[in-house]
Structure 1
Amino acid sequence: MFYVSEIQTTAPVVYKTPLQKSVYETLEWLQIPFERVDTDEAVTMEDCASINRKLQMDMVKTLFLCNRQQTSFYLFVTKGDKAFRSGAFSKALEIARVSFAPAESLLEMLGTKVGAATVFSALLDRQNHVQLVFDREVADAAWYGCSDGTTTGYMKIQTADIMKKFLPFVNHAAIVIEV
């Protein structure tokens, strides 16, 4: 059975990555409340379903994408149950078709491994090399559920706090698209 802890409203006692530490320090600084759970390593949509039930919301799916030349990078945040269609994404942004960026680039640029991609990686993208792109359905939702930069920590935050407090703080503007 997939382990999901009880809901907590404070940061972990021990941090697993520098990004995770930065996430919780930033949320405290910005006075953004959150609920979080610790879990077994989440790797499937079924694992996320257990997290969703506990936090009473839906986890987003965060994809790290790039163009063929690996010169343009995108962090696409969409609904967890929505299939990704490269053509629709590219058409909405009026760009050449994209594909999944290499795992090494995700770790190097955004400080996470595959499965832990998160909007909070913008904390590490100080040069704005990665364009944040949100699916309209996610941007309009009341709650935002995501990784804390690990594959064993997940949180629930008001979407408005992500869009109106966090993104301005990290000097990133999000493009909102309908796909």
Structure 2
Amino acid sequence: MFFVSEIMEKAPDSYKSHLQEMVYESLTKLQIPFERVNTDEAISMNDCIEINQKLDMKMVKTLFLCNSKKTEFYLFITTADKPFKAKDFSNTLGISRVSFAPAELMEHILGVKIGAATVFGVLMDKENLVQVVFDKDVLLEEWYGCSDGTTTGYMKVKTKLIFNNFLTYAKHIPTVIEM
């Protein structure tokens, strides 16, 4: 059985990564309330079902993408149930075809490993290499469910606070598309 802790409303006592520490420091500084749980390692969207139930929200799907030259990067945030079609994404943005960025680049640019992609990764993107792209359907949800930068920590935050407050603070102005 997949372990999901009780809900907590404060930062962990110790951090598993620099990014995770930055996440909680930023939320505290911005006075953005959150609920969080610790879990067994969650890698797939299927692992998120029990997390969703515990936190009473829907986890977003966060994809780290790049062009073929690996010079343009996109953090695409969509709903968990939508299949990703690179052709549709590229056509909607009017860019060359994208694919999943290599794990090493994701770790280098966003500070996360596979399965932990999160909007909070832009805190590590000091050079502003990454364009954040939201599927408009995510913005229709009251709650935003995502990783805290690890594969064992997940949180629930008001979507509007992520979109308006956090991303402004992180100096990443998102693009919104309809997929």
The aligned runs of 1:126-141 (5 Å cut-off) are 126-141=126-141
Match of 1:35 in 2: 35
Contact kept in structure 1, 2:75 and 2:119, CA below 8 Å: yes
Residue identity (%): 59
Q: 1:44 deviation in Å?
A: 2.5
Q: Deviations over 1:76-124 (max 9, x none)?
A: 0011111000011001101111000000000000000010000001111
State the one-letter code of the partner of 2:173.
Answer: A
- How far, CA to CA, are the matches of 1:105 and 1:24 in structure 2? 23
Q: Using the TM superposition, give the Cα deviation of residue 47 of structure 1 relative to its aligned residue in structure 2, in angstroms.
A: 1.3
RMSD value over aligned CA atoms? 0.7
For 1:139 and 1:64, locate their aligned partners in 2 and report how far apart those are by CA, in whole Å.
19
Q: Is the 8 A contact 2:44 2:115 kept in 1?
A: no
Alignment of 1:34-53 (within 5 A): 34-53=34-53
Structure 2 residue runs without a partner (length 5+): none
Aligned to 1:173: 173
CA drift at 1:163: 1.1
Count of aligned residue pairs for this structure pair: 179
**Whole-Å Cα distance in 2 between the matches of residues 45 and 66 of structure 1?**
21
User: What TM-score results when the alignment is normalised by the length of structure 1?
Assistant: 0.98
In 1: Cα distance, 2:113 partner to 2:96 partner: 25
Deviation at 1:150, TM superposition (A): 0.1
Letter in 1 for 2:129: H
Task: Report the secondary structure of 1:123's partner residue.
Answer: helix
Matching residue of 1:151: 151
> Residue 45 of structure 1 aligns to a residue in which SS?
coil
Per-residue deviation at 1:46? 2.4
Between the aligned partners of 2:128 and 2:44, the Cα distance in structure 1 is 30
- The residue correspondences of 1:64-83 to structure 2 (distance < 5 A) are 64-83=64-83
After TM superposition, what 4+ stretches of structure 1 lie above 6 angstroms from structure 2?
none
For the residues of structure 2 that align with 1:43 and 1:110, how far apart are their CA atoms?
A: 17
Contact in 1 for aligned 2:60/2:146 (Cα 8 Å): yes
1: CA distance, partners of 2:43 / 2:105: 20
Aligned residue in 2 for 1:160: 160
Distance 1:45 1:110 in 2: 20
1:91 matches 2:91: yes
> In the aligned structure 1, how far is the partner of 2:66 from the partner of 2:7?
35
For residues 21-50 of structure 1, the C-alpha deviation after alignment (integer angstroms, 9 at most, x for no partner) is: 000000000000000000000023221000
For 2:55, the equivalent position in structure 1 comes to 55
Where does structure 1 lack aligned partners over 5 or more consecutive residues?
Answer: none
Query: TM-score scaled to structure 2, two decimals?
Result: 0.98
2:125 is equivalent to residue 125 of structure 1 = yes
